[in-house]
Structure 1
Amino acid sequence: MEALAGLRRPNVTVPLAQTIAQQYFGVSAVEVTELGSNQDRNFLLMEASGNRTVLKIDNAAFALAEIEAQNEVMNACVSAGVSVAQVLRNADGSLVRTVFDADGVEHFARRFQFVPGTSLLDAHFLSAVMMQQVGSLTGEVSAALTKFTHPGLERASQWDMRRAADIADSLLGSIADGRRRERVRAAIKAARIALTQVGELPVQAVHGDVTDDNIMWGGPQNSSQLTVLDFGDVSTGWRVAELAVTLSSLLQHAAERPLDVLVAARAFHQKQALTSAEVSALWPLVVLRACVLVTSGAKQLELEADNDYAAERIEGEWRIFEEATRYPLDVMRAATRAALHVQITETETAADAAKAATSTKPAKEPQVESGPFSFPKKKRFKALEGSLLQSPVALHRVDLGAESEWMDDGAWLREGAEEQFIREAFSFVGQPGESGIYLPYALERLTRSRINSAEAPKTIPFGIEAYFTQRTKVFAPFDGEISVPAPTLAERDEQQVVLTASDGSRLVLTGLVKLPQPGPVSAGDPLGRVASSDSQQLNRVRILWVSSRATSRIPFFGGDELAPAYEQLTIDPAPLLGLPREEERPDAAVEQDRRNRVFSSAQERYYVDPPEFERGWKHHLIDTNGRAYVDLVNNVAGLGHSHPRITAAAEQQLRLLNTNSRFLYRQLAEYSERLIEKAPNSLDTVLLVNSGTEAVDLALRLAWAATGRKTIISLREAYHGWSIGADAVTTSAYDNPNAVGSRPDWVHVADVPNPLRGKHTGPDAETYYATELADTLKQLDAQGKPVAGFICESVLGNAGGVLLPEGYLREVYAKVRGAGGLCIADEVQVGFGRMGQGFWGFNQQGVRPDIITIAKPMGNGFPIGGVITTRAIAESLGNEGMFFSSAGGSPLSCAVGLAVLDAMDEDKILENVANVGEYFKDRLEMLMAKHPLIGFVHGAGLYLGVELVRDRETLEPAKEETMEVCERMLHLGVIIQPTSERQNVLKIKPPLCIDRESVDFVVEALDQVLTEVVATFPTAHS
Structure 2
Amino acid sequence: MSPTFSSERAAALAREHYGIDATEVKALAGEVDLNFYLRTTTGAAYTLKISAPDTALSSLEFQDAIMRHLADSGIPRQTPVPVGNITPLGGGRFLRLQTWIEGKMLGDQHPITASLRWQWGQTAGLLSHALQNFQHPAAPTRYKWNPSQTLDAQVLAQYLTEEERSLAQFFWARFATHTLPRLADLRQSINYNDAHEQNLLVDAHGRITGVIDFGDAMHTHTVNELAIACAYAGMGWPDPIGAMAEVVAGYHASFPLQPEELLVLLDLIIARLLLTVTTAAENLAHAPENPYLQVSAAPAWALLRRLRKIDPAFALAMFRAATGAESSRQFAPLHPVVRLAGKTVVPIDLSVGSLDLGNHRNYTDLPTFTRHVARFLEDRNADFAVGGYGEARPVYTTDAYATEGNYGPRWRTTHLGLDVWGAAGTPVFAPFPGVVHSLAIDPAPGSYGPTIILEHQDQDGVFYTLYGHLSADSLLPFRAGAQVQAGDEIARFGKAGENGGWPPHLHFQVMTDLLGYVGDFPGVAYPTEAAAWMLLCPDPSAFLGPAISARATAQPALETLLSTRRRALGYSLSVSYQQPLHIVRGAGQYLYDVSGRRYLDTVNNVAHVGHQHPRVVEAVARQAAVLNTNTRYLHEEILRFAEELVATLPRELSVVHFVNSGSEANELALRMCENWSGTRNMLALEVGYHGNTGRTIDVSHYKFNGNGGQGAPPQTRILPMPDVFRGRHRNPATAGRDYAAYARQEIERAEGEGRRFGGFIAESILSCGGQIPLPEGYLREVYGYVRAHGGLCISDEVQVGVGRMGTHWWGFELQGVIPDIVTIGKPLGNGHPLGAVVCTPEVAANFANGMEYFNTFGGNAVSCAAGRAVLRVVREEGLMENAQATGQLLQTLLRQLAAEFPLIGDVRGQGLFLGFELVYPDLAPAAAPAKYLKDRMRELGFLLSTDGPDDNVLKIKPPLCFNAANAAQLTDYLQKVLGEDACKI
TM-score by length of 2: 0.75
- C-alpha offsets along residues 913-952 of structure 1, whole Å, 9 cap, x if unaligned? 432122213323443575434755422222233557788x
Q: Which residue does the alignment assign to 1:80?
A: none
**Offset at residue 795 of structure 1 (A):** 0.9
Three-state SS of the structure 1 residue aligned to 2:97 is strand
The whole-number CA distance in structure 1 between the counterparts of 2:140 and 2:150 is 9
- C-alpha offsets along residues 539-597 of structure 1, whole Å, 9 cap, x if unaligned? 9896654343675547143344545532332134454344822132436xx55333233
The whole-number CA distance in structure 2 between the counterparts of 1:62 and 1:10 is 29
Q: Which residue does the alignment assign to 2:100?
A: 112
1:121 corresponds to 2:107 = yes
**Offset at residue 964 of structure 1 (A):** 5.6
**CA pair 901-15 structure 1, distance change in 2 beyond 3 A:** same
Q: Which residue does the alignment assign to 2:68?
A: 68
For 2:49, the aligned partner's letter is: I
Q: Which residue does the alignment assign to 1:91?
A: none
The whole-number CA distance in structure 1 between the counterparts of 2:258 and 2:670 is 60
Q: Which residue does the alignment assign to 1:857?
A: 827
Q: Which residue does the alignment assign to 1:450?
A: 398
Moved more, 13-22 or 917-926: 13-22
Structure 1 segment 358-397 matched on structure 2, within 5 A: 385-388=334-337, 394=343
For 1:55, the aligned partner's letter is: T
The whole-number CA distance in structure 2 between the counterparts of 1:901 and 1:942 is 20
**Offset at residue 214 of structure 1 (A):** 2.7
1:507 corresponds to 2:465 = yes
1:36 corresponds to 2:23 = no
Counterpart pick for 1:131 among 105, 108, 113: 113
**Offset at residue 451 of structure 1 (A):** 4.7
Structure 1 segment 221-620 matched on structure 2, within 5 A: 224-226=205-207, 228-232=209-213, 249-252=232-235, 254-256=237-239, 258-259=241-242, 285=265, 288-289=268-269, 291-292=271-272, 294-295=274-275, 298-299=278-279, 305=287, 307-319=290-302, 327-335=310-318, 342-344=324-326, 349=328, 352-354=329-331, 385-388=334-337, 394=343, 402=352, 403=354, 406=357, 408=359, 410-414=361-365, 441=389, 450-451=398-399, 454-455=402-403, 462-464=416-418, 476-479=430-433, 481-485=434-438, 496-504=453-461, 505-509=463-467, 511-515=474-478, 518=481, 523-524=486-487, 526=488, 529-530=490-491, 544-548=508-512, 553=517, 555-560=521-526, 562-578=529-545, 580-586=548-554, 591-600=557-566, 604-605=574-575, 613-620=583-590
**CA pair 46-353 structure 1, distance change in 2 beyond 3 A:** same
**Offset at residue 808 of structure 1 (A):** 1.9
Is the contact made by 1:827 and 1:841 (CA closer than 8 Å) also made in structure 2? yes
The whole-number CA distance in structure 1 between the counterparts of 2:551 and 2:389 is 10
The whole-number CA distance in structure 2 between the counterparts of 1:149 and 1:741 is 57
The whole-number CA distance in structure 1 between the counterparts of 2:351 and 2:738 is 58
The whole-number CA distance in structure 1 between the counterparts of 2:682 and 2:118 is 46
1:638 corresponds to 2:608 = yes
**Offset at residue 664 of structure 1 (A):** 6.2
**Offset at residue 33 of structure 1 (A):** 3.1
**Offset at residue 43 of structure 1 (A):** 3.2
For 1:109, the aligned partner's letter is: L
For 1:506, the aligned partner's letter is: Y
Three-state SS of the structure 2 residue aligned to 1:597 is helix
Is the contact made by 2:744 and 2:785 (CA closer than 8 Å) also made in structure 1? yes
Moved more, 39-48 or 572-581: 39-48
Three-state SS of the structure 1 residue aligned to 2:235 is helix
The whole-number CA distance in structure 2 between the counterparts of 1:265 and 1:280 is 14
Q: Which residue does the alignment assign to 2:166?
A: 179
For 1:386, the aligned partner's letter is: H
For 1:57, the aligned partner's letter is: K
Q: Which residue does the alignment assign to 2:893?
A: 927
1:833 corresponds to 2:807 = no
Is the contact made by 1:56 and 1:110 (CA closer than 8 Å) also made in structure 2? yes
Q: Which residue does the alignment assign to 2:12?
A: 19
**Offset at residue 196 of structure 1 (A):** 9.6
- C-alpha offsets along residues 63-106 of structure 1, whole Å, 9 cap, x if unaligned? 44433344456x864xxxxxx77879xxxxx9556555574644
Q: Which residue does the alignment assign to 2:54?
A: none
Three-state SS of the structure 1 residue aligned to 2:211 is coil
**CA pair 988-261 structure 1, distance change in 2 beyond 3 A:** farther
The whole-number CA distance in structure 1 between the counterparts of 2:930 and 2:718 is 30
Counterpart pick for 2:864 among 895, 898, 903: 898
**CA pair 595-933 structure 1, distance change in 2 beyond 3 A:** farther
1:916 corresponds to 2:882 = yes
The whole-number CA distance in structure 2 between the counterparts of 1:535 and 1:297 is 52
**CA pair 648-729 structure 1, distance change in 2 beyond 3 A:** same
Q: Which residue does the alignment assign to 1:214?
A: 200
1:987 corresponds to 2:955 = yes
**CA pair 425-840 structure 1, distance change in 2 beyond 3 A:** closer
**CA pair 678-465 structure 1, distance change in 2 beyond 3 A:** closer
The whole-number CA distance in structure 2 between the counterparts of 1:542 and 1:136 is 40
**CA pair 474-181 structure 1, distance change in 2 beyond 3 A:** same
Q: Which residue does the alignment assign to 1:761?
A: 730
**Offset at residue 627 of structure 1 (A):** 6.9
- C-alpha offsets along residues 588-627 of structure 1, whole Å, 9 cap, x if unaligned? xx55333233234986555677876543334444566667
**CA pair 535-153 structure 1, distance change in 2 beyond 3 A:** closer
Instruction: Give unmatched runs, 5+ long, in structure 1.
Output: 1-7, 78-83, 89-93, 219-223, 358-383
**Offset at residue 904 of structure 1 (A):** 3.7
Three-state SS of the structure 1 residue aligned to 2:878 is helix
Three-state SS of the structure 2 residue aligned to 1:842 is helix
Three-state SS of the structure 1 residue aligned to 2:865 is helix
The whole-number CA distance in structure 2 between the counterparts of 1:550 and 1:275 is 31
For 2:211, the aligned partner's letter is: D
Is the contact made by 1:704 and 1:788 (CA closer than 8 Å) also made in structure 2? yes
Three-state SS of the structure 1 residue aligned to 2:586 is strand
**CA pair 64-529 structure 1, distance change in 2 beyond 3 A:** closer
Q: Which residue does the alignment assign to 2:148?
A: 166
**CA pair 538-745 structure 1, distance change in 2 beyond 3 A:** closer
- C-alpha offsets along residues 187-215 of structure 1, whole Å, 9 cap, x if unaligned? 757995999999999x9999984847634
The whole-number CA distance in structure 1 between the counterparts of 2:701 and 2:232 is 43
**CA pair 520-72 structure 1, distance change in 2 beyond 3 A:** same
**CA pair 164-688 structure 1, distance change in 2 beyond 3 A:** farther
**Offset at residue 462 of structure 1 (A):** 3.2
The whole-number CA distance in structure 2 between the counterparts of 1:618 and 1:488 is 33
- C-alpha offsets along residues 236-271 of structure 1, whole Å, 9 cap, x if unaligned? 9999998877665443353446536767888x69xx
**Offset at residue 636 of structure 1 (A):** 0.9
RMSD: 5.9
TM-score by length of 1: 0.72
For 2:878, the aligned partner's letter is: N
Is the contact made by 1:968 and 1:1009 (CA closer than 8 Å) also made in structure 2? yes
Aligned length: 930
Moved more, 592-601 or 978-987: 978-987
**CA pair 900-1008 structure 1, distance change in 2 beyond 3 A:** same
**CA pair 731-143 structure 1, distance change in 2 beyond 3 A:** farther
Instruction: Give unmatched runs, 5+ long, in structure 2.
Output: 52-59, 404-409, 469-473
Q: Percent identity?
A: 23
The whole-number CA distance in structure 1 between the counterparts of 2:647 and 2:355 is 39
1:810 corresponds to 2:777 = no
**CA pair 157-331 structure 1, distance change in 2 beyond 3 A:** farther
Is the contact made by 2:439 and 2:479 (CA closer than 8 Å) also made in structure 1? no
